[in-house]
Amino acid sequence: MKPDSTRTEELPIYESLIRERGDVVEEARVVAEETQHQMSLALSGVAPAPQETGAS
């Protein structure tokens, strides 16, 4: 049987990249959850007015 190649102890490069660059996968998950929550509110008619982001 082939060992599970996704175990954390077998991914030292991935752990090193997380320390250097941050956990992009985790950040994307958080943003996706926030967006999903906002869209649920918008579809139910409870969402606040959208706010613009970025430079003008």
Q: Mean pLDDT, the chain, as a whole number?
A: 79
pLDDT tens, position by position, 1-17: 455 555 556 678 888 88
Three-state SS sequence of the chain: CCCCCCCHHHCHHHHHHHHHHCCHHHHHHHHHHHHHHHHHHHHHCCCCCCCCCCCC
Token pair of 55 as six digits: 């430079």
The pLDDT > 90 percentage for the chain reads 36
pTM of the model: 0.54
Q: CB neighbours of 15 closer than 8 A, spacing ≥ 6?
A: 8
The predicted pLDDT at position 1 comes to: 42
Is the pLDDT assigned to residue 27 strictly greater than 80? Answer: yes
